[in-house]
Amino acid sequence: MASNRQIAEDVLAAIGGKDNVTQITHCMTRLRVNLKDLSLTDEEKIKSVKGVLGVAKAGGQFQIVIGNHVDMVYKEVCEIGGFAAESAINENLDGPKEKFTMKRLGGQLLDFLAGSISPIIPALMVAVIFKMVVSVGGDMFGWIPVESDLYTLFTFVGDAPFYFIPVLLGYTSAKKLGSNPMVGAVLGAILIHPTLIGLAAEGAPFKVFGINASIQTYSSTILPILLSTFAMSYVEKFFKKILPQTLKIVFVPGLTILIMLPIALIILGPAGAILGNFLCTGLYSLGSLGGIAQILMIVIVAALWEFFVITGMHMVFITFLISGFAATGSEALITPAAVSASIAVAGMCLGSALRIQDKEERSLAYSYFIASLIGGITEPGLYGLGIKYKRPFIGMMIGGAAGGLYAALTHVTAYAIVPVASFLCLTSYFGGSTANIVNGMISAVIAFGVATITTYFWGFKADNTVVTVK
């Protein structure tokens, strides 16, 4: 087998040399390369490199499949090319510029999301393992007593990666943008500082440099930190440009955070919350009208639920859900939609696993399927398949909408709050009539089946997503 050094040299030569690279990062198995001029690349030559398993193109980016040792090849590429290992950005950006189009903008946004989120999947998989043990060994079979210290330990280990997602994404998104990743992590840490969370919980007034700030709880959210690091990248570049070289290492990080405090805490952070409240409240009001409006609301929420989960907007719906249970002891709007959407994630993962040809990616897809259906952890599948490949996300939305439509038409009602996204969420339908339980199960089967079939037949394009192993 070729050495990591040799693979790196051959890959650089096949993509037009180091001067053709504008950015290079890596995920769990792939080098992800952005280039100045795609015409300088030789795709067949890349595929012929010993140690390269395959090539995919997506969003104007070359994705070169290496395998589990991709991080070692990445380090060699950075060393040979003279790229900064942390940012892997080529400072020599002179060259032909691509024409702006909405399609290109959309591709860049998706590339930013994938490049920011993909690196945190190993952390999410840690959560998957421990949450699965708690779900199966504790809640399902009682092997681990709920009152035991072991149950508590595994619970907070499973929760930690999700709680600290702003810190993780602060690092990875800043790195993706070519900014200092540690400064990005600090910005994420600021958003979930205990004092800030305490102020949000109390509704206490707070001012940033004399300006009133609408303090929110940002733990387990991704949109505020992604917006903030995007803005931070421009602030950091500004200070790097105007400060002398001798002062940059000392003052750029501090000045960047200083400027970002009001931007993140007054503007970008609350903006996501305001958008979420407006959207969620409007949809819930639509559902309260009954009839066609209620059916439409459930279908829309079922289709968009995982998007709400990704952005943290789902917490607004959960507030309505709890209020509904507190008032009537049952709930027939949010729960059927959320259950259908959660089961559809597992269908998307299975459909992807059955279709993907690359062994590494297929193995990951199966692990995401198990994690979703049994462990109730949907994020690895959402980020590792839905956002990465794009079309599976739509297949999942169609499956969720189909399941939600059946649940709405048959008036499926939940009689318990089951705070998991695994198959155990179906137990929320217990407590009513037998017909309610049966229809709830049927809605889940529809969501799972439609998501699996739609993803399998429509979720991939061979020219840029399905990688054939040599």
**Distances in whole angstroms, Cα of residue 100 to Cα of each of 16, 89, 108, 268:** 23, 21, 11, 25
* Inter-axis angle of helices 434-458 and 334-355, nearest 10: 40
* CA R_g for the chain: 23
User: Cα angle vertex 87, ends 84, 93, to 5°?
Assistant: 80
- Report, in this order, helix, strand and coil percent for the chain, each rounded to 5: 70, 5, 25
Six token digits for residue 454: 């739609």
27: annotated active-site residue: yes
CA atoms within 13 A on the CB side of 328: 10
DSSP element (H, E) containing 133: helix 121-133
User: Is 32 strand, coil or helix?
Assistant: strand
Q: Which residues contact 40 (CB under 8 A, 6 or more apart)?
A: 15, 16, 17, 20
Please report where in the chains the tokens 């639509």 appear, as a residue.
Answer: 286
Q: Return phi, psi of residue 244, to 5°.
A: -65, 155
Helices assigned H by DSSP within 329-385 = 334-355, 359-373, 379-381
Distance between CA atoms of 261 and 246, rounded to whole angstroms? 25
DSSP sequence for 284-304: HHHHTT-HHHHHHHHHHHHHH
SS3 31: strand
Please give the positions annotated as active site. 27
